[in-house]
Structure formats: C-alpha cells, structure tokens
Amino acid sequence: MTASKDSRPPLSYAAAGVDIDAGDALVERIKPLAKRTMRPEVLGGIGGFGALFEVSKSYKEPVLVSGTDGVGTKLRLAFQLDGHDTVGQDLVAMSVNDILVQGAEPVFFLDYFACGKLDVDTAARVVGGIARGCELAGCALIGGETAEMPGMYPAGEYDLAGFAVGIAEKSALITGETIAEGDVVLGLASSGAHSNGYSLLRKILERDAPDLDADFHGRSLRDTVLEPTRIYVKPLLALMKEAPGLVKGMAHITGGGLLDNVPRVLPAGLSAHIDASSWTLPPLFAWLREAGNVAEQEMYRVFNCGIGMVVIVAAADADRAATSLSGAGETVYRIGHIARCGDGEAQTVVR
C-alpha cells in the first residue's frame, strides 16, 4: 500500500499518549510479585491471554464463588497522601472477605488498573500491595489488565477493580439458613475504616483540617486513615476446617456498616441484637464521630466502627470459636445475640 504524501509529522501510539514499553516494563516488575502468590493449581504464569487454574480433585461437588469490588474514594486519599502501597491490599480484601462469608476459599485474583498515563513505579507499588493481599488470603494473583487511556483520567490518578474466585464444597456452603434464636454474634476487630465510608471521612478531614502528621494515639493520622483492610481468610478457613458446620453465618462489614450488612445473612423473622458497649470504639471512629458531629446510628450505618467481620455461632460453640480465632491472631468480641423480630422491626439493632 502506498502512503499518501503528508507534510505533517507522523503519529504513533506514543505520540497519542500510550507507552507500550512502559506497559511491558510493568509486566516484568509484576512477575516476581505474582510468583510469590502462586498455588499448585495455577497452570502457566503472568503474560498470557488467559489465566489457567485447575480445580482440585479433592472436591466432590465444587462450587465456584466469585466477587468483585474496588477501593472507592479511599483512592482520593492515596493520591493526596502518596499512599499507593496500601490500596492494593484493600482491593484484594474487599473481594476475598466477601466470598469467604459463603464458606469459599479464595483461590485466585485478577486486577484491573486504569490510568491516563502509566507511571511504572506507582503501578508497581499498587500491584505490590495486591500481591501482599493475595499472600495474606492464600490466593494466586493469576492475571490482570493495565489500561493506559489518555484523556480519561487526570494526571497522577488511576482506578482499580478486583475480581476474586473461590471454591467451596457444595455441602459446606454457608448460607445462614441454620441461624436460630439464641445464637451468639461474635465480632472480629477491624484494622481501621477499611475501604468504606471514605466520602464522609474525607469530608470530615476537609472540614476539620487536622495535622495528618501529628501524633494520633501512637501513630500519625495519615497512617491511620490509610491503614489497609484486614483480611480474615486464613483464621476463618482454619476454624471451618477444624469444626465443619460450627460457623452458621458471617457478614463482612462493608458499605452499610453493621446495620445493613448483618441482615444479609439472617433468615426472615430473626434479628441481631448488638451491644455497642461490648467493644471499645477505636480512636479513629471516636474522632470521626466528634469532629464530624456524626449521629450514633449514622456511624453504625456508614463505618464498621471497629468490627470488620461478624461470625454467628450456636451459644454452645461460642467459646470454642473465639479461642480458635484468637489463637490465629484475631481480636474477638462477643457482641450480641440472635432474637426473634416482628414484622417491620429492624434485623439489626445496635444499642
């Protein structure tokens, strides 16, 4: 084909704002990070068109459980505070904790990183956090996508999405259907605000304008608000393996807080009565409540308020569950019980 004569400078992908070489460099930086997360079921490695994962033959009736999520407006703080090292763990946590509550073991994870102009160092920091999250969850970082899209994002900003797949034995799926009146509600401590409520948190920071580098209960407020989401996978999987059927239901406390997430696992006609005095409100949430003049019930609906995962067990099993989880490094509180509720009554009551 003969090109037409044109006096204008020739265009290229790089001139349009997409740096293929930078993308290739990032893939090379990612490979050793992903390698640390590999599981024996993974076939192949990073760089192919598709990721391959062999389902273990140890399952009689394997059920795939999937979840997807992002980091939300916590990313705004990562941009402002140079917190790119931690949001990757947040990304993994939001999906693996979700599929965990149905009794699934997270086995692999994929990420989507989109930006206007690819900064290899920043992207590598983010993916490093993703790899750490996968290691904590015991799942393989099996693949992902880096999209450089000029004009779509402001300079220095990016977006993240994550996708987790887990496997559970069909007979061992946790549905909440066995939850009954008199069961005990255990709460596992959160590491902070996790990745929820950050639109309100950022509004409070903006209005109150605190010194983010000043001492805040032994660390800086900057580090406190960027603390990554806790991953509860390994301790809870160990409990479920140790005592099949002991865990009746779980709720990952994400958007909607305690008030909206616990009812998602409760059968109709039952409610969770939660005693707010059974754990100490962490300093971050006490400060947010005071600085933002946030109403108590609003706090419980927006933030996790120190409880990142709820586990429901029979009263006779509560001590055993608490001992197992504590021994695995979790801080466990006995925060309430299950009771009957009438028509129109809330399925979660926090007092």
Would you state the pLDDT for residue 148? 96
Does 107 score more than 60 pLDDT? yes
pLDDT classification of 11: cutoffs 50, 70, 90: confident
Average pLDDT (145-174) is 96
Does 113 score more than 70 pLDDT? yes
Would you state the pLDDT for residue 5? 66
- β-pair partners for 166: 65, 106
One-letter amino acid at 37 equals: T
CATH dotted code for 184-350: 3.90.650.10
Residue-wise pLDDT for 114-127, tens only, equals: 999 999 999 999 99
pLDDT above 90 covers a percentage of the chain that reads 87
Would you state the pLDDT for residue 19? 87
Would you state the pLDDT for residue 103? 98
Would you state the pLDDT for residue 307? 98
Of 1 and 191, the structure prediction assigns the larger pLDDT to: 191
Would you state the pLDDT for residue 186? 98
Residue-wise pLDDT for 320-336, tens only, equals: 999 999 999 999 999 99
pLDDT above 70 covers a percentage of the chain that reads 98
Residue-wise pLDDT for 261-316, tens only, equals: 999 999 999 999 999 999 999 999 999 999 999 999 999 999 999 999 999 999 99
With vertex at residue 59, the alpha carbon angle to CA 234 and CA 69, rounded to the nearest 5 degrees, is 50
- β-pair partners for 108: 140, 165
Does 140 score more than 60 pLDDT? yes
Does 14 score more than 90 pLDDT? no
Does 1 score more than 70 pLDDT? no
Side-chain half-sphere CA neighbours of 90 within 13 A: 29
- β-pair partners for 189: 307
Residue-wise pLDDT for 214-266, tens only, equals: 999 999 999 999 999 999 999 999 999 999 999 999 999 999 999 999 999 99
Would you state the pLDDT for residue 250? 98
- Is 3.30.1330.10 the CATH number for 20-172? yes
Would you state the pLDDT for residue 207? 96
Could you tell me if 261 and 225 are in contact, meaning their C-beta atoms sit under 8 angstroms apart?
A: no
Over the chain, what HEC string results?
CCCCCCCCCCCCCCCCCCCHHHHHHHHHHHHHHHHCCCCCCEECCCCCCCCEECCCCCCCCEEEEEEEECCCCHHHHHHHHCCCCCHHHHHHHHHHHHHHCCCCEEEEEEEEEEECCCCHHHHHHHHHHHHHHHHHHCCEEEEEEEEECCCCCCCCCEEEEEEEEEEEEHHHCCCCCCCCCCCEEEEEECCCCCCCCHHHHHHHHHHHCCCCCCEECCEEHHHHHHCCCCCCHHHHHHHHHHCCCCEEEEEECCCCHHHHHHHHHCCCCEEEEECHHHCCCCHHHHHHHHHHCCCHHHHHHHCCCCEEEEEEECHHHHHHHHHHHHHCCCCEEEEEEEEECCCCCCCEEEC
Does 47 score more than 80 pLDDT? no
Q: What's the rounded Cα separation, in Å, for the pair 225 and 188?
A: 19
* pTM to 2 decimal places: 0.94
pLDDT classification of 3: cutoffs 50, 70, 90: low
Average pLDDT (167-172) is 97
Q: What residue spans define the domains of the chain?
A: 20-172, 184-350
* 44-58, 82-96, 224-238, 337-351: least confidently modelled range: 44-58
**Mean confidence (pLDDT) of the chain:** 95
Would you state the pLDDT for residue 8? 86
Does 156 score more than 80 pLDDT? yes
